Amino acid sequence: MATAATDRTAAPEPAPHVLVVPYPAQGHTIPLLDLATLLASRGGVRLTVVATPATAPLLAAHGDAVGELVLPFPSHPAFPAGVESAKGLSPALFGALIVAYAGLRAPLGDWALERSGGPDRVAAILSDFFCGWRQPLAAELGVSRIAFSPSAVYGTAVLHSLFRRMPQCEDSDDESPIGFPDLPGAPAYPWRQLTLLYRTYRDGDEVSEGVRRNFLWNLEASSFVSNTFRRLEERYLAAPLADLGFRRVRAIGPLAPDAADAASGRGGETAVSAADLCAWLDGFADDDGSVVYISFGSMAVLQPPHAAALAAALERTGVPFVWAVGTAAPLPEGFEERVAAAAATAGRRRGKGRVVRGWAPQVAALRHRAVGWFVTHCGWNSVLEASAAGVPMLTWPMTADQFVNTRLLVEEAGAAVPVSWGGIQAAPEAEEVARVLEAAAGGQCAHVAARAKELVEEAAATVSDGGASRQELDELVRELRELGSEPKE
């Protein structure tokens, strides 16, 4: 007869519990949620995503794959009350948002400590690199922290290099070159092309010091996970980088939906449905690749001179276009009315342009056969979505990591043509923008378009079964599974 001990069946050990902490900006939250969904689909780990009331709706597109923990947005004297994300935020307040959001450390720490002795114990923290304050929290809990980069490895390294080395601008000259000696090729950038987060640093200022501390904490993380792929950034993935604390970087991108999910609401509610926009684009079926899609992202607001130059160039060239202008772009007086009148007069199949006010279904648009070029600020999400769709880019960087991304695309990948290097400070002439549009539409940049087609094949291969990015993802899952759910001795 079996003993009681042998009759007793041990309860299965719960899967390791991973706390996922996005940063409240569309370009940061969306790819980290995509990654969380992928991790959940592999099984063997449980994930809880931290959100505030304003960002929680973005989790709806990810169904029941992950749990959610909604906490009140913390208040801070340097940050305006009632604002919870970077959407539409002045660039001057980006640093204050990083510091204000760090106020979640105490309530999140209390939540995690309450569960530290049981099956829901947090086994690891996966957080955005703008949430470096998760590093001391991870140390307090005795768990690993993995830093998520929604940017290129190159751009991430440049950003951390600045706060690690603290290079200075000579003689207050905006064109003064700032070098990055520890990166492959030792690149240099004019001071004006560096992120405003660094250029506005003030020694002893609470926000400035908080931002710097954020990035230095990232260099203590166990590893980085980056939304990129090896064939695009082989040069920066070949060996550990000093500017990233010599930490391992897992390239698991591009984190873009496949064709079947291109019309999903992963970015929130859109101003126009994917079906409606694609139906309009179907009117160009006889001229594939003729439409230029234009977007400067969810955070950038074009200055009036930039918007005027682009609008004038579009009217001058007559290039078919879709312009996702956001809600606050200062378009020239009468431009939208003229665009709408032309479409109404000529009919959908002949209407040359369409203006979308608000969030647009960008992935669906880029995957449409009528779209042949993408005028972009070179935010990294947009870069990867274009790469995954095989659409060549007309680059117009404004700030942040966008100049670094542009250099990578134009000079190394060969999948883009620059429109302007002036950034926020200097708008190009309408004639120059028109020249670039005409060259792209007229087939003079065929070699760039061909390289974009090669890039889409490389992007598809890396996220397919057995591809480099999928291998990195599966290794990450195995690493998380091995953490276990019992407290460490």
Give the residue numbers annotated as catalytic, written as ranges.
Answer: 28, 128
- Between helix 304-317 and helix 430-441 the angle, nearest 10°, is 40
Q: Which amino acid is at 85?
A: S
Please give the Cα distance from 41 to 266 (Å, whole number).
16
Q: Kind of pairing, strands 393-395 and 416-418?
A: parallel
Bridge partners (DSSP) of residue 177 are 190
Report the 10 Å Cβ neighbour count for 352. Answer: 17
Which token pair is 448? 């760039």
Whether 312 contacts 392, CB under 8 Å = no
Of the candidates 354, 399, 402, 408, the residue with the CA atom closest to the CA atom of residue 382? 402
Whether 378 contacts 360, CB under 8 Å = no
Please give the Cα distance from 70 to 381 (Å, whole number).
25
Bridge partners (DSSP) of residue 250 are 225
Of the candidates 55, 57, 20, the residue with the CA atom closest to the CA atom of residue 37? 20
Please give the Cα distance from 488 to 409 (Å, whole number).
45
Bridge partners (DSSP) of residue 49 are 20, 68
- Pseudo-torsion of CA 149, 235, 295, 333, nearest 10°? 110
Kindly tell me the burial class for residue 71, based on how many C-beta atoms sit within 10 Å of its own C-beta (0-12, 13-18, 19 or more). middle
Of the candidates 276, 292, 436, the residue with the CA atom closest to the CA atom of residue 364? 276
DSSP result, 139-161: HHHT-EEEEEESS-HHHHHHHHH
Bridge partners (DSSP) of residue 258 are none
Please give the Cα distance from 433 to 428 (Å, whole number).
7
Q: Give the end-to-end CA distance of the chain in Å, rounded to a whole number.
A: 37
Q: What own/partner pairs with CB < 8 Å and gap ≥ 24 does 408-412 have?
A: 408/152, 408/154, 408/155, 408/232, 408/233, 409/378, 409/383, 412/235
